[in-house]
């Protein structure tokens, strides 16, 4: 079996983790931080809005069971990609919408998905999702991993 990685930021990482874990073909999903300047950041540091990190989810998936394009569609349907640095009540750069691509194929697929979703008419405003190279992913503290699942809320969606 081939295992590939995908990394997405779509607001608070707890809900993002939940909806990716529910996708057949997703083998694992971890919450953490990426896209910033500080090594091994903590939640408290990221919340200062000074580290540049986004709350993100790193997804391990089997491309024979779920394609990257399908993961992108799930990403775009489960958050509002038109609001810069905000998802629902959460605001700040750590809550930005971003696709962190791991190779040129993922970048091209993400760019095509943005174009397709912009043309879809689903949103009034244009998509502001960043499409940027994947950087080091720092797993969040243990208490953040499977946070909603541990509290019996794993069927919730953002």
- Counting the structural domains of the chain, the total is 1
Taking only the tens place, the pLDDT of each residue in 22-80 is: 999 999 999 999 999 999 999 999 999 999 999 999 999 999 999 999 999 999 999 99
State the residue range of the domain holding 62. 4-150
Within-domain flag for 156 = no
Is residue 16, in this structure, part of any structural domain at all? yes
pLDDT tens digit sequence for 79-93: 999 999 999 899 999
Q: How far apart are CA 14 and CA 149, in angstroms?
A: 9
Helix (H, G, I), strand (E, B) or coil at 35: coil
What DSSP letter does each residue of 105-123 carry, written as one string?
A: HHHHHHHHHHHHHHHTTS-
DSSP-assigned letter for residue 11: S
Question: Is 155 within a domain?
Answer: no
**What share of the chain in percent tops pLDDT 90?**
92
* Distance, C-alpha 136 to centroid of its chain: 14
User: pLDDT category, 127, cuts 50, 70, 90?
Assistant: very high
User: Does some domain include residue 137?
Assistant: yes
Catalytic residue among 6, 9, 10, 12: 12
What's the CATH code of the domain at 122?
3.30.1060.10
Q: Is residue 158 part of a domain?
A: no
Q: Is 156 among the catalytic positions?
A: no
Tell me whether residue 85 is in a domain: yes
pLDDT attached to residue 156:
53
Domain membership of residue 106 (yes or no) is yes
Q: What is d(CA 131, CA 81) in angstroms, rounded to the nearest whole number?
A: 12
* Residue 157 to residue 150: CA distance in whole angstroms: 15
Yes or no: say if 158 and 11 are a contact pair by the CB < 8 Å rule. Answer: yes
Classify residue 49: in a domain, yes or no.
yes
Band (158; pLDDT cuts 50, 70, 90): very low
Q: Is the pLDDT of residue 157 over 60?
A: no
């Amino acid at each position: 079996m081939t295992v590939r990685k995908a990394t997405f930021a779509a607001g608070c990482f707890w809900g993002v983790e939940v909806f990716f874990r529910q996708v057949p073909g997703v083998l694992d999903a971890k919450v953490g931080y990426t896209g910033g300047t500080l090594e091994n950041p903590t939640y408290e540091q990221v919340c200062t809005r000074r580290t540049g990190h986004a709350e993100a989810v790193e997804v391990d998936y089997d491309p024979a069971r779920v394609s990257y394009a399908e993961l992108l569609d799930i990403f775009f349907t489960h958050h509002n990609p038109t609001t810069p640095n905000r998802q629902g009540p959460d605001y700040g750069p750590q809550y930005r919408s971003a696709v962190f691509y791991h190779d040129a194929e993922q970048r091209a697929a993400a760019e095509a998905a943005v174009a397709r979703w912009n043309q879809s008419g689903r949103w009034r405003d244009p998509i502001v999702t960043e499409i940027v190279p994947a950087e080091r992913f720092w797993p969040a503290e243990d208490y953040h991993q499977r946070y909603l699942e541990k509290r019996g809320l794993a069927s919730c969606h953002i």
